[in-house]
Amino acid sequence: MEILFTKNFNGDHILSCKREDGSVSWKHVSSFFIIHDLCHFVVETLMPLKNAFYGMVAAGTDISEFDLPKAQRNFQLTEEALFAEQLVNMLTIEFAQGKMENFIEIFTSINDVEGSKALPIDELKMEKIRNLANQLIQKWNLLQEGKTMTLSYK
């Protein structure tokens, strides 16, 4: 699947996912959610997770359905999706507020509280995730308005 991040002049950017069958799911997203969705790509690629946000979109879930209240969705979030969302949320906070020295400890406690199945994550994996996320965010920040950054999700 191709994931396209299009930078618009007014900050109302576009996230598009072109599936292998040629179908497309897209929505308008804020600058905050561009960072969030880039972090999803990194986490889902490096962990690797096949049944989280991008995996679910690749399998046919429309991006806009994730915005619906739980009772109105046509799907259930997978264990991988819950794990990814928790990790991505913390990573997004870290990018906004600075590196957390006890990231793994906090993440593990949140993951335990939420009851999500824990996947192995350590400082080495987190450093790889942070490095790739930094690279993609820098690439996004340097992207000219009106241009698109394309990533490949397999």
* Residue 55, pLDDT score: 97
130-152 average pLDDT score: 97
Given a contact cutoff of 8 angstroms between Cβ atoms, the answer to whether 85 and 119 are in contact is no
Identity at 73, one-letter amino acid code: R
pLDDT band at 11 (very low <50, low <70, confident <90, very high): confident
Q: What residues does each domain of the chain span?
A: 2-152
Please choose, from the candidates 8, 6, 4, 9, the residue with its C-alpha nearest in 3D space to the C-alpha of residue 24.
Answer: 4
User: What is the reported pLDDT for 137?
Assistant: 97
Does residue 48 have a cis bond before it (omega within 30 degrees)? yes
Instruction: Indicate if the alpha-carbon torsion angle 89, 92, 97, 100 is positive or negative.
Output: positive
What does each C-alpha distance from 133 to 1, 36, 44, 113, 117 come to in angstroms? 19, 10, 12, 26, 24
Residue 93 CA, chain-centre distance (Å), reads 13
Q: What is the mean pLDDT of residues 54-67?
A: 96
What pLDDT is recorded for position 85? 93
**pLDDT tens column, 96-128:** 999 998 999 888 887 764 555 567 788 999 999
Average pLDDT, the chain: 92
Radius of gyration in angstroms for the set of CA atoms belonging to the chain, rounded to a whole number: 15
| Structure confidence at residue 117 (pLDDT) | 56
Q: What is the pTM of this model?
A: 0.92
